[in-house]
């Protein structure tokens, strides 16, 4: 079968990448990373149950309350006499009898500082739990000063139950934090993939220039076909990788209870749904965004003669890519607002921001399709410019063209 | 039918005219040399034939009626001056890839690539990466890449630059073989000795303009001077040959490495001079009517300063 030139090039680029050890490693490590993201926090929350602390209560009123509360949370607690020396306690930590100790001062009810020293003081869970339970114990003790008994005062202090659910008027409602986390993760994966694969296109163009393969290639096929083939091939590799990731992410989210079960964690938390339709949206915007930026990266590669030069030259492009990352809050805080609506229609940013806004329910299907259509028009415009630069630049060596020269390249080809 | 026709072709880069109203015809089945100093416009002309750049004016026609580009590419082979292969690709794969780019099916490309590698003695290296090969071996792979699709016209841009002597010989054999098979070869070079050995037809370009174009034999015949002869004699010293001082025969003489080059008087002919020498009892070791070398013709035509002119404006492929 005789293939058109762009397809021959795309096939070569794709097979080169699919065979590379790096590609295989990253594709497989991605899901491991995702499993880690789900499992590690759960395991950590779980393992904090095994904390063992000593309480040295100089106040004589906080100790028992704190002890009861921490025990209720599954901690192991030793009450030590108030005259226990620091050295003895430190020895306990060294011998791994205890993880740490809390010293409650005499004036704890009147702004005295309670100190915790331990080998797990870096743990957010440990310090948060200690602070919360200490606060509660101090509040109860202060209540007792005014003659309130602990049960009564506890009833007053109990927090009202509150939950924020994200909805746009449809039947489906999801936990707001979880929805934001999902939208943010999707935005970040698209951003990272476009950046990595875009830079990959840039590097591969430079390699063709420096190894002088370009000379042989341009005689055999039109630069436009070479450019198209290269972007298609690299984009194909990116699509394969992201497809694998998203499919596994979907499976993980759907079966997170089972996955956590493998690690002995029984907790289950509500995760937003992430279905096949969402995967299609994410892949479509990734591909479109990739084509948009890859054309620019390819043109940039044709303009420079070495990787070092490329490092400097690609800064403006990377800056452009960072703008949508900085606009995340703009979308998340008001997915249906005007700023979000405008940002997600601009082709420079829409690839990263629109899937997020869509997942947050901020965009209608119509807005989604309009954004994709505008992005496609943007790709066409960028591709024409990039092809012109590519045509001239591929065989030009030496110093980087000035803006004026670049303008000449654009006009004459 | 002609393999290639350039008709009043011009290419400018800014103020610099790289190729200036160039016309020439490459007949089929010949080895055609484009000769000229660096910066003369040879590579620019070759790039236009390969449709890498387009002329500002004039037309280029291949194989009678095909313009440069998509339809001509499968019938053209090209070895650029600056040439390389994907260093991390396997030798066989890179050949198949370039064959497919030139319009071969994958199957045919693979079969021919294997055959070529065997022929060039690289059969055992098929599965190795290009970067594992020596420079000389890589050059052979480049020859194979150029010929895989069995082109009718093969274009070589400064083919001897960077070639080791063994591969220079391999390349010369390939060119001779191509000619024997009825293919056309067009090569550019500034090495006149190489061109003189192999070309049937030459076209000398300097500063973007054609200064001489024709069959090598015709050019040399035209440049031959009937009044200049080189002699060497066993009779020593030279002065004892009185004929050499006779202005009726010789008007100027120049001695070099034991040989005398003489400018004969307008009334004398080489035949008569030879007879006179023999009659005078001079014992001759050599008597030759001087034919200038291609290099001498070249220098005479373009001038010594143009022959060493450097390239101008390296931007955007305006090189040589």
The count of structural domains within chain B is 2
Which CATH number fits the domain that encloses residue B70?
3.40.50.300
Domain assignment present for residue B305? The answer is no
Which CATH number fits the domain that encloses residue B235?
3.30.70.100
Same domain, B173 and B269: no
A219 closest CB neighbour out of B52, B89, B314? B52
CB-based contact A5 B101, cutoff 8 Å:
yes
User: Strand order of the sheet with strand A100-104?
Assistant: A76-80, A52-57, A100-104, A115-118
pLDDT score of B312 more than 70 = no
Averaged pLDDT of chain B: 83
Give the pLDDT confidence score for residue B239 in this predicted structure. Answer: 55
DSSP B66: B
Give the pLDDT confidence score for residue A273 in this predicted structure. Answer: 67
- A57 DSSP β-pair partners: A104
The complex's ipTM?
Answer: 0.74
Domain assignment present for residue B319? The answer is no
Q: Which residue of A has its CA nearest to B105?
A: A2
Give the pLDDT confidence score for residue B304 in this predicted structure. Answer: 66
What gap in Å lies between CA B193 and CA B196, rounded to an integer? 5
CB-based contact A222 B70, cutoff 8 Å:
yes
User: In sequence order, what are the residues at sequence separation of 6 or more whose Cβ sits closer than 8 angstroms to the Cβ of residue A404?
Assistant: none
Taking each helix axis from N to C end, the angle separating A315-326 and A276-303, rounded to the nearest 10 degrees, works out to 150
- The tokens of A237 are what? 């590799």
CB-based contact B314 A398, cutoff 8 Å:
yes
Q: Which residue of A has its CA nearest to B131?
A: A211
Same domain, B191 and B244: no
CB-based contact A212 B83, cutoff 8 Å:
yes
- Other CB atoms within 10 Å distance of the CB of residue B173: 10
Same domain, B135 and B266: no
Same domain, B111 and B14: yes
Same domain, B184 and B272: no
Count CA within 13 A, CB hemisphere, residue B239.
Answer: 0
Name the pLDDT band for A45 (thresholds 50, 70, 90): low
Q: Which residue of B has its CA nearest to A393?
A: B316
Give the pLDDT confidence score for residue B236 in this predicted structure. Answer: 66
Q: pLDDT digit string (tens) for A312-328? A: 888 888 898 899 888 88
CB-based contact B314 A397, cutoff 8 Å:
yes
- A117 DSSP β-pair partners: A101
Q: Among candidates B287, B4, B274, B297, which has minimal Cα distance to B153? A: B4
What is the percent of chain B with per-residue pLDDT over 70, rounded to a whole number?
A: 93
DSSP B311: P
Give the pLDDT confidence score for residue A272 in this predicted structure. Answer: 65
A219 closest CB neighbour out of B80, B85, B100? B80
Q: Which of B215, B248, B272 is a domain's end point?
A: B215
Same domain, B136 and B193: yes
Give the pLDDT confidence score for residue A400 in this predicted structure. Answer: 66
List Cα–Cα distances, B94 to A90, A273, B117, B138, B260, in angstroms: 68, 46, 12, 11, 56
Q: Which of B215, B239, B263 is a domain's end point?
A: B215
Give one DSSP letter per residue of B171-198, joined into a string: HHHHHHHHHHTT-EEEEEES-HHHHHHH
Of the listed ranges A160-174, B171-185, B257-271, the one predicted with least confidence: A160-174
Averaged pLDDT of chain A: 84
Domain assignment present for residue B320? The answer is no
Same domain, B99 and B198: yes
Mean pLDDT of the B160-164 span: 81
Q: pLDDT digit string (tens) for B260-269? A: 888 888 888 8
Exposure b/e, B211-229, CB count within 10 A at least 16 = b: bbbeebeebbeebeeebbb
Domain assignment present for residue B295? The answer is no
A216 closest CB neighbour out of B76, B80, B104? B80
pLDDT score of B54 more than 80 = yes
B303 min Cα distance to partner chain A (Å):
30
Q: Among candidates B174, B180, B194, B143, which has minimal Cα distance to B35? A: B194
Task: Tell me the chain B residues in contact with residue A212 when contact means C-beta distances shorter than 8 Å.
Answer: 80, 82-84
Domain assignment present for residue B283? The answer is yes
Q: pLDDT digit string (tens) for A50-79? A: 789 999 999 888 888 899 888 888 888 999
Same domain, B60 and B196: yes
Q: Which of A19, A207, A216 is the best substitution to test chain B (most B C-beta atoms within 10 A)?
A: A216
Same domain, B21 and B157: yes
A196 min Cα distance to partner chain B (Å):
20
B78 closest CB neighbour out of A5, A212, A219? A219
Domain assignment present for residue B230? The answer is yes
Size of interface A-B (CB pairs under 8 A): 74
Q: Among candidates B86, B93, B84, B74, which has minimal Cα distance to B142? A: B84
Give the pLDDT confidence score for residue B309 in this predicted structure. Answer: 46
Give the pLDDT confidence score for residue B155 in this predicted structure. Answer: 92
CB-based contact A221 B73, cutoff 8 Å:
yes
Cβ atoms of residues A104 and A82 within 8 Å: no
Domain assignment present for residue B186? The answer is yes
Q: pLDDT digit string (tens) for A85-106? A: 889 999 999 998 899 999 999 9
What is the percent of chain A with per-residue pLDDT over 70, rounded to a whole number?
A: 92
Domains, chain A, in order of start with CATH, read 5-42+173-412 (no CATH), 49-157 (3.40.50)
Q: Dihedral of the CA atoms B308, B313, B316, B318 (nearest 10)?
A: -30
Range of the domain at B120: 4-215
A403 min Cα distance to partner chain B (Å):
14
Same domain, B240 and B207: no
Q: pLDDT digit string (tens) for B76-109? A: 889 888 888 888 899 999 999 999 988 889 899 9
Same domain, B60 and B116: yes
Interior CA angle at B13 toward A400 and A204, to 5°?
Answer: 35
Domain assignment present for residue B302? The answer is no
B104 min Cα distance to partner chain A (Å):
6
Exposure b/e, A128-167, CB count within 10 A at least 16 = b: ebbeebbebbbbbbebeeeeeebeebeeeeeeeeeeeebe
CB-based contact B52 A397, cutoff 8 Å:
no
What gap in Å lies between CA A128 and CA A375, rounded to an integer? 46
Q: Which of B194, B215, B236 is a domain's end point?
A: B215
Q: pLDDT digit string (tens) for A327-368? A: 888 888 888 888 888 888 998 898 889 988 888 887 888 999
pLDDT score of B151 more than 70 = yes
Residue B307 near chain A (CB below 8 Å): no
Same domain, B122 and B251: no
């Amino acid at each position: 079968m005789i293939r058109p030139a762009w397809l021959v090039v795309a096939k070569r680029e794709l097979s080169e990448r699919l065979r590379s050890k790096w590609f295989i490693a990253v594709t497989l490590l991605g899901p491991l990373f995702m499993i880690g993201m789900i499992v590690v926090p759960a395991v950590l929350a779980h393992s904090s149950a095994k904390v063992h602390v000593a309480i040295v209560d100089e106040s004589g009123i906080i100790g028992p309350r704190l002890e009861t509360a921490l025990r209720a949370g599954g901690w192991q607690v030793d009450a030590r006499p108030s005259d226990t020396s620091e050295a003895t306690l430190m020895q306990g930590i060294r011998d791994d009898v205890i993880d740490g100790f809390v010293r409650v001062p005499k004036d704890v009810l009147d702004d005295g500082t309670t100190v915790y020293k331990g080998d797990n003081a870096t743990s957010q869970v440990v310090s948060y739990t200690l602070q919360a339970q200490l606060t509660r114990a101090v509040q109860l003790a202060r209540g007792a000063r005014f003659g309130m008994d602990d049960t009564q005062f506890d009833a007053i202090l109990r927090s009202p139950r509150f939950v924020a659910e994200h909805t746009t008027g449809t039947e489906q409602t999801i936990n707001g934090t979880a929805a934001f986390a999902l939208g943010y993760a999707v935005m970040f994966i698209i951003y990272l993939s476009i950046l990595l694969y875009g830079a990959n296109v840039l590097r591969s163009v430079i390699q063709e220039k420096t190894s002088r393969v370009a000379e042989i290639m341009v005689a055999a096929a039109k630069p436009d076909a070479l450019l198209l083939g290269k972007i298609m091939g690299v984009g194909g590799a990116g699509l394969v990788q992201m497809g694998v990731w998203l499919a596994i992410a979907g499976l993980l989210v759907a079966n997170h209870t089972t996955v956590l079960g493998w690690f002995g964690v029984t907790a289950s938390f509500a995760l937003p749904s992430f279905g096949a339709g969402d995967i299609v949206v994410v892949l479509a915007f990734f591909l479109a965004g990739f084509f948009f930026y890859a054309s620019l990266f390819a043109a940039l590669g044709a303009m420079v003669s070495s990787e070092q030069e490329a490092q400097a030259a690609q800064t403006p492009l990377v800056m452009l890519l960072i703008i949508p990352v900085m606009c995340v809050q703009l979308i998340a805080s008001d997915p249906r607002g005007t700023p979000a609506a405008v940002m997600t229609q601009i082709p420079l940013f829409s690839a990263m921001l629109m899937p997020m806004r869509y997942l947050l329910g901020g965009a209608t299907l119509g807005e989604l399709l309009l954004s994709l259509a505008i992005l496609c028009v943007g790709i066409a415009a960028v591709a024409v410019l990039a092809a012109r630069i590519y045509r001239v630049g591929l065989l030009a060596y030496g110093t980087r063209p000035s803006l004026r020269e670049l303008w000449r390249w654009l006009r004459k080809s | 039918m002609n393999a290639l026709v350039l008709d009043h072709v011009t290419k400018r880069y800014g103020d610099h005219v790289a190729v200036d109203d160039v016309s020439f015809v490459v007949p089929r089945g010949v080895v055609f040399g484009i000769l000229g100093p660096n910066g003369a416009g040879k590579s620019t002309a070759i790039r236009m034939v390969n449709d890498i750049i387009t002329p500002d004016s004039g037309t280029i026609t291949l194989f009678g009626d095909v313009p440069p580009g998509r339809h001509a590419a499968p019938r053209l082979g090209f070895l650029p001056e600056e040439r390389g292969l994907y260093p991390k690709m396997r030798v066989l794969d890179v050949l198949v890839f370039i064959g497919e780019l030139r319009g071969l099916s994958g199957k045919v490309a693979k079969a021919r690539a294997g055959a070529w590698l065997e022929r060039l003695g690289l059969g055992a290296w098929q599965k190795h990466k290009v970067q594992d090969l020596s420079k000389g071996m890589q050059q052979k792979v480049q020859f194979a890449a150029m010929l895989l699709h069995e082109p009718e016209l093969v274009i070589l841009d400064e083919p001897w630059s960077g070639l080791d002597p063994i591969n220079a010989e391999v390349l010369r054999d390939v060119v001779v073989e191509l000619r024997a098979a009825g293919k056309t070869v067009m090569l550019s070079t500034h090495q006149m000795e190489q061109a003189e050995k192999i070309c049937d037809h030459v076209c000398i370009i300097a500063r973007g303009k054609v200064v001489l174009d024709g069959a090598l034999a015709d050019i040399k015949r035209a440049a031959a001077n009937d009044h200049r002869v080189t002699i060497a004699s066993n009779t020593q010293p030279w002065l004892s040959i009185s004929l050499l001082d006779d202005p009726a025969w010789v008007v100027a003489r120049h001695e070099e490495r034991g040989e005398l080059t003489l400018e004969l008087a307008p009334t004398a002919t080489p035949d008569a001079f030879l007879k006179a020498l023999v009659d005078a009892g001079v014992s001759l070791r050599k008597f030759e009517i001087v034919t200038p070398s291609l290099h001498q013709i070249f220098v005479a035509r373009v001038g010594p300063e143009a022959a060493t002119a450097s390239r101008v404006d390296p931007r955007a492929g305006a090189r040589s």
